[in-house]
Chain A
Amino acid sequence: DAGVIQSPRHEVTEMGQEVTLRCKPISGHDYLFWYRQTMMRGLELLIYFNNNVPIDDSGMPEDRFSAKMPNASFSTLKIQPSEPRDSAVYFCASSPGTTIYFGEGSWLTVV
């Protein structure tokens, strides 16, 4: 298996623009997670899905963030409008129920 695949790997965008991050989890994994990592706040869980259903979105910073999982092999995290404080590494991860497998991350810079 190729592992968790994220795109884009790097994105630089201007404040106010919409950003869409994409994720393909490992086939057969029931759980999908979106994490954000910054120096100041460490690794934060934004939202996670079980069998494509959002279970806990309490970590989503505000209404500008939304996440969808239309099927078992695809998820998106959208930020609209983006702000400089959203600059971070966004990780998608999937799990069969115990160990979590991370993608390589999407490095987002909002200028």
Chain B
Amino acid sequence: SQQGEEDPQALSIQEGENATMNCSYKTSINNLQWYRQNSGRGLVHLILIRSNEREKHSGRLRVTLDTSKKSSSLLITASRAADTASYFCATDSPNAGGTSYGKLTFGQGTILTVHP
């Protein structure tokens, strides 16, 4: 099963509205990352939040992390048509020594459509 699972699977909004996507995961993490994928392209890193952080901002992006609930949310404010893409959360889980394996486990993604 996927370590990260996004909700909703698809989200359709109007330009200017806010978009919120959620991610749940099962095991402990070192950090959680969000990626964006435009149609036909590779994934692009958006933001990283470490396990000891609760909230992080980058431009119009706001990420929260609740390790007690093993969940994260990505908020895109004042959405634009250009934000139309798939958004993935990815988790970096610690090895037995507490450090990173170096790999990420990706969820299934949320397809965001922003209508002009």
Q: Which of A's residues lie within 8 Å of B, judged by CB?
A: 4, 30-31, 33, 35, 42-43, 45, 48, 50, 55-56, 91, 93, 95, 97-105
CB pair B31–A98 under 8 Å, yes or no, is: yes
CB pair B31–A43 under 8 Å, yes or no, is: no
B43 within 8 A of A: yes
Smallest CB–CB gap between B50 and chain A, Å?
10
User: Secondary structure of the B side of the interface?
Assistant: strand
Give the residue name and chain of the A residue nearest to B109 (CB): A42
Chain B residues with CB under 8 A of A33 = 103
CB pair B45–A97 under 8 Å, yes or no, is: no
Smallest CB–CB gap between B80 and chain A, Å?
23
CB pair B105–A99 under 8 Å, yes or no, is: no
Report Cα–Cα, A43/B44, bound state, in Å.
Answer: 14
Q: How many residues of B contact A (CB 8 A)?
A: 23
Report Cα–Cα, A100/B4, bound state, in Å.
Answer: 16
Smallest CB–CB gap between A90 and chain B, Å?
11
Report Cα–Cα, A98/B31, bound state, in Å.
Answer: 9
B70-116 contacts to A (CB < 8 Å): 88, 90, 92, 100-109
Given contacts A42-B2, A42-B108, A99 and B45 within 8 Å (CB-CB): yes
Give the residue name and chain of the B residue nearest to A44 (CB): B106
4 other contacts beyond A98-B48, A101-B45, with CB at 8 A cut-off?
A: A42-B108, A97-B100, A100-B35, A100-B43
Smallest CB–CB gap between B85 and chain A, Å?
13
Smallest CB–CB gap between B33 and chain A, Å?
7
Chain A residues with CB under 8 A of B35 = 100
Can you list 17 A-B pairs, Cβ within 8 angstroms, ordered by A?
A33-B103, A43-B43, A43-B106, A43-B108, A43-B109, A45-B105, A45-B106, A48-B102, A50-B102, A55-B101, A91-B43, A93-B42, A97-B100, A99-B48, A101-B45, A102-B42, A104-B42
Chain A residues with CB under 8 A of B33 = 98-100
What 1/0 flags go to B32-75 for Cβ under 8 Å of A? 01010000011111001000000000000000000000000000
Given contacts A50-B102, A56-B103, A102 and B109 within 8 Å (CB-CB): no
